[in-house]
Amino acid sequence: SQQGEEDPQALSIQEGENATMNCSYKTSINNLQWYRQNSGRGLVHLILIRSNEREKHSGRLRVTLDTSKKSSSLLITASRAADTASYFCATETGGFKTIFGAGTRLFVKA
Amino acid sequence: DVKVTQSSRYLVKRTGEKVFLECVQDMDHENMFWYRQDPGLGLRLIYFSYDVKMKEKGDIPEGYSVSREKKERFSLILESASTNQTSMYLCASSIAGQGNTGELFFGEGSRLTVL
């Protein structure tokens, strides 16, 4: 069974709007990461948040982590057409196991 | 710039053929991983290696084997390809970190079709 599940599965917004994607997981984690994947390409690491952190920023990205609810959110502010991609959360529980969710497909309309 | 290179972006093989997928990283990373990606299932770990000549099974190792003779190279082998192994295969590497994977650096992927 999947550890991380993203919500929504797909999201379509206008350029300039904010995009929020959520991730829920089932067991305790060491850290949670977000990755981006352009169609047909490999994944690119966006941000890592440790289990003892609650919020992290990187450029237009803001990630929150609520370990009591076992959930995380990724906010992309002022989205651009180039942000169109699939976004995956990945939870690390130790033992070299990083478990990926099925992803959220984001489409940003110009 | 960090780089993980997968030798083949697209492959078409026949059922029963032996298939080699090669991955090379130039970052001197200890850890290397093979995932497969299928629609709706996310990425699933096939095998990983945390050192030269070391290998560990991931979540779906059946039908696959791996080889890591040199630190920079991690090969995935399908001994006898089957149609249910049609998938996107992604190689990744990361720096050693006390049993944690940490940030993964991915290759561009190898899309394998088995007829």
| Nearest chain A residue (CA) to B88 | A40
Q: Is A101 on the interface with B (CB under 8 A)?
A: yes
Whether residue B41 has pLDDT greater than 70: yes
d(CA B62, CA B40): 20
Give residue B101's pLDDT.
79
Note whether B66 and B74 are within 8 A (CB): yes
Whether residue B92 has pLDDT greater than 80: yes
At residue A83, φ and ψ (nearest 5 deg) are: -80, -10
Q: Which residue in B42, B102, B109 is closest to A42 by CB distance?
A: B109
Give residue B102's pLDDT.
85
pLDDT by residue (tens digit) across B100-115?
A: 778 999 999 999 999 9
Q: Which residue in A4, A96, A102 is closest to B40 by CB distance?
A: A102
Starting at the edge strand that comes first in sequence, how are the strands of the sheet with A5-7 ordered? Answer: A5-7, A19-24, A71-76, A61-66, A55-58
- Interface-testing mutation among B10, B57, B103, B112, with chain A (most A C-beta atoms within 10 A): B103
Residues of chain A whose pLDDT is less than 50? 1-2
Give residue B100's pLDDT.
74
> Chain A window 23-82: which residues touch B at a Cβ cutoff of 8 Å?
30-31, 33, 35, 40-45, 48
Encoding tokens for residue A25?
A: 């997981």
Mean of pLDDT values over B85-110: 89
Tell me which chain B residues have a C-beta less than 8 angstroms from the C-beta of A92. Answer: 100-102
Q: Please report the beta strands in chain A, taking only residues with DSSP state E, as ranges in sequence order.
A: 5-7, 10-14, 19-24, 31-37, 43-50, 55-58, 61-66, 71-76, 85-94, 97-100, 104-109
| Subunit contact A92:B56, Cβ cutoff 8 A | no
| Subunit contact A96:B56, Cβ cutoff 8 A | yes
Give residue A7's pLDDT.
87
Whether residue B2 has pLDDT greater than 80: no
Give residue A8's pLDDT.
92
Tell me what the pLDDT averaged over chain B comes to: 93
Q: Which residue in A4, A41, A99 is closest to B109 by CB distance?
A: A41
Return the amino acid letter for A75: L
Give residue A1's pLDDT.
42
Give residue B45's pLDDT.
94
- Interface-testing mutation among B27, B37, B90, with chain A (most A C-beta atoms within 10 A): B37
For chain B, how big is the Rg over CA atoms in Å?
Answer: 13
B98 falls in which pLDDT band (50, 70, 90)?
Answer: low
